[in-house]
Amino acid sequence: MMLLAASALVASVPVLAADELNLTNGYSAAGAPLAIHGYDPVSYFTDAAPALGDDSITVVHDGAAYRFSSKKHAEMFKKNPSRYVPQFGGYCAFGVSVGKKFDGDPRLWTVYEDKLYLNLNSEIQNMFSKDVAGAVQKANKNWVEIRHKSVSSL
């Protein structure tokens, strides 16, 4: 009986590919790991600066919980999530350009060609900013190879 209960619990946990998304440890109130450290992904495109999301306004997409600063932003996201989610699963864009998966700091961001990119720290952000197009091109190529690989294997 105990084994049956344990297997039911495991079956209810969302299955994510090995480190495909940069998620925080633990689970949100929505039952999924938190994406973008709780920042509102729509705010990068609509506000002057990124905003922290409210835990009472959460949408789960591809196994990750995204928080929003307003219900309007949550509705915008639901209509077109791929427009707002950060590229490379929220990992540092410059890191991906060199074949690594580093944490993406939601306070260090760039919107380039209508896509959101996060970076690890201000030094990395400065290097990324010197050649955004080149870094994005390299990262897009590398992402195909590393997307399904665990962070520890890179």
pLDDT at 9: 36
Which positions ≥6 away from 31 have C-beta within 8 Å?
A: 14, 60, 65
pLDDT at 26: 64
93 and 64 in a common domain: no
Picking from 30, 48, 82, the residue at the C-terminal end of a domain is 82
Report d(CA 11, CA 103) in Å as an integer. 28
The per-residue DSSP string of 132-146 comes to: HHHHHHHHHHHHHHH
**What H or E segment, with its residue span, contains residue 117?**
strand 115-119
25 and 77 in a common domain: yes
Beta bridge mates, 59: 66
106 within a domain of the structure (yes/no): yes
Report d(CA 121, CA 82) in Å as an integer. 24
4 within a domain of the structure (yes/no): no
91 and 76 in a common domain: no
139 and 102 in a common domain: yes
pLDDT at 137: 99
Q: Mean pLDDT per 10-residue run, the chain (154 residues)? A: 38 49 76 94 97 96 96 99 98 98 97 98 98 99 96 92
Q: What is the DSSP letter of 26?
A: S
100 and 74 in a common domain: no
Give pTM, 2 decimals.
0.85
**Which residues constitute the domain of residue 138?**
87-147
Q: What are phi and psi of 147, to 5 degrees?
A: -50, -45
Domain count, the chain: 2
125 and 73 in a common domain: no
65 within a domain of the structure (yes/no): yes
91 and 77 in a common domain: no
124 within a domain of the structure (yes/no): yes
108 within a domain of the structure (yes/no): yes
pLDDT at 14: 42
